[in-house]
């Protein structure tokens, strides 16, 4: 059973946004521009230069259309990242891979949501019964509920860390992507959890650092770092802040997708050996040796 080399995989993923900046950075920038300008077009926000006006009763449809557009475009960037990092043939053949990726994403969200909902319901029933038991204080029931909720959260997080390997599998055309992810990640739950914790720490550190820099730069330049006319004006400070924000978001976005890809490639032999063992019928017992004549 192959174990995930956490730091090697993180190192490969960390360099991926730079290694594959072409074509990933231009594609990411193009998608970001489309997403930004699609919002006023779909929602009909008043734009004097374009003479648009809000159309009553279209907010719900516009919200669904905008969310669907954003999901498809960002999924395309993720799938392209998976295919670039895995050096897949026909890297730009994104049609069916994106469809498989979206279907797999929906299935994973439904599975995790149903499992989490059932476990939360069971916790509620258990703690409710515990609180109703004579001689048991409400505080004890609440404390038990908190502990169980934390354990359920860790369980769901570990489950997601294993099953999310189905996303690069789907993007790379692997059949039965969810089953493949489950087989390949066997025995690697803690390593995957640890890797995702390190990734989350990096994202938080970069995000808070960016927020600090943007805030300090914005106040120093007379801009409003929390938004508003001053922050969105075409000033040198505003343009610089926007560029830094876009580059950092690009880096973290590609880094996360590449980490899944390299984890998938490292652990794929586990799935292949597991599938072979599962599909191979058990060997018939060897016939007993004939007894020697007395």
- Domain ranges in the chain are 6-275
Cα angle 239, 37, 46; round to 5: 105
- Name the pLDDT band for 143 (thresholds 50, 70, 90): confident
20-29, 39-48, 140-149, 208-217: range with lowest mean pLDDT:
39-48
As a whole number of angstroms, the distance between CA 236 and CA 217 comes to 11
Torsion sign over Cα 106, 107, 112, 113:
positive
- Chain-centroid distance, C-alpha 224: 31
As a whole number of angstroms, the distance between CA 192 and CA 189 comes to 5
The reported pLDDT for the residue numbered 224 is 44
- Mean pLDDT to the nearest integer, 231-235: 54
The reported pLDDT for the residue numbered 229 is 41
139-153, 176-190, 229-243: range with lowest mean pLDDT:
229-243
The reported pTM is 0.82
């Amino acid at each position: 059973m192959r174990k995930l080399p956490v730091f090697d995989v993180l190192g490969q993923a960390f360099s991926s946004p730079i290694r594959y900046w072409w074509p990933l950075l231009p594609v990411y920038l193009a998608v970001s521009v489309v997403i930004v300008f699609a919002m006023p077009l779909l929602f009909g926000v008043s734009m004097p230069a374009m003479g648009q006006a809000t159309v009553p009763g279209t907010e719900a449809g516009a919200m669904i259309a905008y969310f669907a557009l954003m999901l498809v475009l960002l999924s395309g960037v993720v799938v392209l990242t998976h295919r670039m990092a895995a050096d897949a043939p026909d890297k730009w053949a994104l049609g069916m891979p994106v469809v498989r990726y979206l279907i797999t994403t929906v299935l994973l969200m439904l599975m995790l949501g149903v499992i989490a909902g059932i476990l939360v319901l069971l916790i509620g029933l258990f703690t409710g019964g515990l609180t109703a038991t004579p001689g048991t204080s409400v505080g004890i029931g609440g404390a038990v509920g908190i502990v169980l909720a934390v354990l359920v959260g860790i369980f769901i997080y570990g489950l997601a860390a294993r099953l999310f390997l189905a996303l690069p599998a789907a993007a790379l055309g692997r059949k039965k992507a969810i089953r493949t992810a489950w087989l390949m990640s066997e025995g690697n739950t803690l390593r995957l959890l640890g890797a995702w914790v390190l990734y989350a720490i990096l994202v938080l550190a970069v995000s808070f650092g960016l927020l600090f820099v943007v805030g300090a730069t914005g106040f120093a330049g007379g801009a409003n770092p929390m938004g508003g006319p001053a922050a969105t004006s075409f000033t040198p400070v505003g343009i610089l802040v926007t560029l830094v924000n876009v580059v950092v978001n690009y880096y973290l976005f590609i880094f996360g997708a590449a980490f899944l890809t390299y984890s998938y490639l490292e652990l794929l032999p586990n799935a292949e050996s597991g599938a072979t063992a599962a599909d191979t019928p058990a060997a018939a017992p060897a016939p007993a040796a004939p007894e020697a004549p007395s």
